[in-house]
Amino acid sequence: MEGRTKRLKLQKLQELDSPFHGPFSFLMSNLSLLEELEKRLTKSVLEMQERQMSEWKRQADQLNAKDVAAFRRMSAILGIALARAKKGRLETRKAQVRFGSPKGPKLLIKLVKAVVYPPRFNDFIRNMSLVYLISAFENFLEQMMEIAFREEPKALVPFQTTITAEELVKCKDLEAAKTELAQKAIAVMMYGDIEEINKRLKQRLGIAMSDVDAWKNFEERFYRRNLIIHKSGEVDEVYRKKVGFRGKTKVLRVSDRYLLQSLDLFRNMALDLFDAFHSKFAGV
């Protein structure tokens, strides 16, 4: 029912003559691109991994009896690990500890790396997809505010922002001066974490992202992004406090499911913001 309501809402907004269509459509295109990239790239990496492992298994016929026995034991372990990797359940750190740097034929070492590193590469892709997703959303939010200030310049008054004589001289006309003031107001609005941005958005423009039911899940994505960028995904006290995380997991990863859920969260949030901005600044 909720999905149908969202589709009807989207259809209604798309029929409007709204200045906010541009940023919204651009963000939707970015989200679709990320979704398609996730499907195609991770699949191709695993297919490449399987082809390479098949070739190395063929080469195993050249090993001596002792090495063949070792190879068979390792192949059984690797087969299980590969199956888990396909389902996104292979934890890189555990894999490194389990397989380590085994002594033995170079072929076995290649097989170990074939299992461990492609999943790590897929994790990297998803991590960077989350980073890009949030960057794209922040850009979308800035553009929405820029349009709002252009449509309703009086919204700039509460910010009490000023421009210097040097900046004013560079402005060709009054509209350029308003744009300069708007950029300074946006910088104020976008300073700090997502919780602070939400508070300013509500106080200054009367639009609150936190009014949606999925706000906590949406907010968590921003704090996980911070962990990925600054801590390589390692959980810290800031993250625990901000999202109420009490788990024992020390390093967070972006799974396929988590990324797809994130894309849905951001689509819904963008739709709600599109509706809110249009109703407040462009609605008749």
What string of H, E and C letters represents the secondary structure of 188-251? HHCCCCHHHHHHHHHHHHCCCHHHCCCHHHHHHHHHHHHHHHHHCCECCHHHHHHHCCCCCCCE
- Helix, strand, coil percentages, rounded to 5, for the chain: 80, 0, 20
Task: Locate 9 and state its tokens.
Answer: 């809402």
**What separation in angstroms does the CA of 5 have from each of 14, 82, 160, 272?**
14, 40, 40, 12
pLDDT in tens, the chain (284 residues): 466 667 777 777 777 788 899 999 999 999 998 888 777 766 666 666 666 666 666 665 565 666 656 656 666 666 665 555 555 444 444 443 343 334 344 555 555 555 544 556 678 888 889 999 999 999 999 999 999 998 888 888 777 777 676 666 676 676 777 777 888 889 999 999 999 999 999 999 999 999 988 999 999 999 999 999 999 899 999 999 999 998 888 999 898 899 999 999 999 999 999 999 998 998 65
Contact, 83 vs 53, CB < 8 A?
A: no
Contact, 225 vs 253, CB < 8 A?
A: no
